[in-house]
Amino acid sequence: MSGLDSGNSKDYSKYDGMSTESLEELLRLDAELPDGEGPDIDEILYISEVIAKREKEHPTGRYPEIDVDAAWENFQTKYLPYMTDGRSLYDFDDEEPSHTEEENAGTDNPSPTSRKRISLRGRRHLKRVVSIAAVIAVLLGLMTATAYAMGYDLWGVIAQWTKDTFTFVSVSKANEPSEPGEGDTIGDGEYADLQAALDAYGITEQLAPNWIPNGFTVGKVVVNDNSSPDYVVFNTCYRNDAKSIMVQIKMHQNQENTSFTTWQKDDMDVDTVIIADCTFYTMQNAGRECAVWINGPFECTINGNISSEELLKIIESIFN
C-alpha cells in the first residue's frame, strides 16, 4: 500500500495483517513518546494510511466521514487566515510572537530565536541545576550494587532539569547539547505484559510495576530492539477509557555511547522519592504525573493522567 514518496525501501507490510485496534494503539503509544523515541515517520505514515484506507472501505463509526472538499473550504476560510499571527493555534502565551516548536518542524536545528531563549533560561536556571546536581551526586551513592556489577559507573551520571525538560547526563557529556535518537523501529514480538517481555530478554532487575490503578487494562507491549545497537526500549500502555499510563524501560547496552532521553516537563520543581535505594524523580508534563529513574543500565519512566498518590503506589509496587 502507501503513497510514501521518501524512497524508503523498508517493508512495512507486517502492519497490513494487524487489527485496526492494534494499529490505533501503536499510534496512541507513539504520541505519548518523546521526540525520536518512537517508530520512524514513514512507519507512522504507513500505519495511519492502513487505518484510513480500511475506514474508507469499511467504516467503523470511530471516525467521521471526511469530506475533503468541506475540510478544504474550512482550511481556506477559517484556519489559513489565523496563520497571519505567526503562532501556534493553541499558543496562548503572552510573550511576543516567536518561533514555536511546530514552526521548526521538518528541520533538525532550533531557530536562532529558540537558541536565544534557551540561553536566557539556562542562565536563569543555572543555579538551580548546579545545586540539584550536588544533591543528586549524594543520592546516587545510595543506588544498587547491580549497576556496578554490570559495569555501569553511576557516579558518572547526573540528573539535570530546566524549566521545560528533564534528562540524565553522563558527566563527560554534561556540556554537550543533547541529541535524541531518531529512526527507531518497532521489533516483532507479542508479550502478555511488560514483565513477560523483560523475562524474554533475561532481565532480572525489578523494573515493571506490579500494581496499576483499578480500571486500567494492559495494552500492547512494544519492544524496540532493532533500531540501535546501543539500546533496547520496552514500552507498554495501560488504558482506562481516555486515561492512559505509559511505562517505558530503555536498556542501554553501550556505556561509551549512552544516549539518555530528554523528557518534557511542566514548569515546576522536580521531587525525589527513594524506594529500595532507587531514586525516583517525579514531575508533571502536560498535566500528567511522571516518574523517571535509573537502575543500572535501565532508564525508566512511568507517566499517566493519574494522581500523584497513584503514581507513588505504582512505583512502590515495583519492589513488592
Partner 1 sequence: MDGCNSQNERIAQLFREMFDVLYVYAKNALGDHSLAEDATQETFCIACAKSDECLQSDNPKGWLMKTLKNVVRNTKRQRAKLSMLAVISLNSDESELLATYDEISVDALYGDEAKKEDFQIFKLIAIEKHSMKDAAEAFGISIEACKKRVQRIKKHLKKKLSRE
Binding residues (CB under 8 A) for partner 1: these are 3-8, 24, 27-28, 30-31, 35, 41-42, 44-45, 48-49, 51-52, 55-56, 63-64, 66, 68, 71-72, 74-76, 78-86, 88-94, 100-107, 242, 264, 266, 286-288
For residue 31, the minimal CB distance to partner 1 (Å) is 3
Backbone angles phi and psi of 175, in degrees to 5 = -100, 0
Amino acid at 77: T
Q: How far apart are CA 11 and CA 43, in angstroms?
A: 9
Contact 186, 220 (CB under 8 A): no
For residue 132, the minimal CB distance to partner 1 (Å) is 23
Phi-psi region of 46 (alpha: psi -120 to 50; beta: other; left: phi over 0): alpha
Comparing CB distances to partner 1, the nearer of 106 and 177 is: 106
Contact 119, 163 (CB under 8 A): no
Q: How far apart are CA 117 and CA 74, in angstroms?
A: 34
Question: Would you call 91 exposed, middle or buried from its count of C-beta atoms within 10 A (0-12, 13-18, 19+)?
Answer: middle
Angle among Cα 106, 111, 117 to the nearest 5 degrees reads: 135
For residue 204, the minimal CB distance to partner 1 (Å) is 35
Comparing CB distances to partner 1, the nearer of 6 and 131 is: 6
Comparing CB distances to partner 1, the nearer of 87 and 252 is: 87
Comparing CB distances to partner 1, the nearer of 160 and 244 is: 244
Comparing CB distances to partner 1, the nearer of 88 and 320 is: 88
For residue 224, the minimal CB distance to partner 1 (Å) is 17
Comparing CB distances to partner 1, the nearer of 67 and 153 is: 67
Q: How far apart are CA 72 and CA 59, in angstroms?
A: 22
Comparing CB distances to partner 1, the nearer of 43 and 205 is: 43
Comparing CB distances to partner 1, the nearer of 141 and 183 is: 183
For residue 58, the minimal CB distance to partner 1 (Å) is 14
For residue 56, the minimal CB distance to partner 1 (Å) is 8
Closest to 4 (Cα-Cα) out of 48, 60, 39, 67: 48
For residue 17, the minimal CB distance to partner 1 (Å) is 18
Backbone angles phi and psi of 13, in degrees to 5 = -65, -15
For residue 144, the minimal CB distance to partner 1 (Å) is 34
Backbone angles phi and psi of 102, in degrees to 5 = -75, -20
Cα 13 to chain center, whole Å? 25
Positive or negative, the CA dihedral 310, 314, 316, 320 is positive
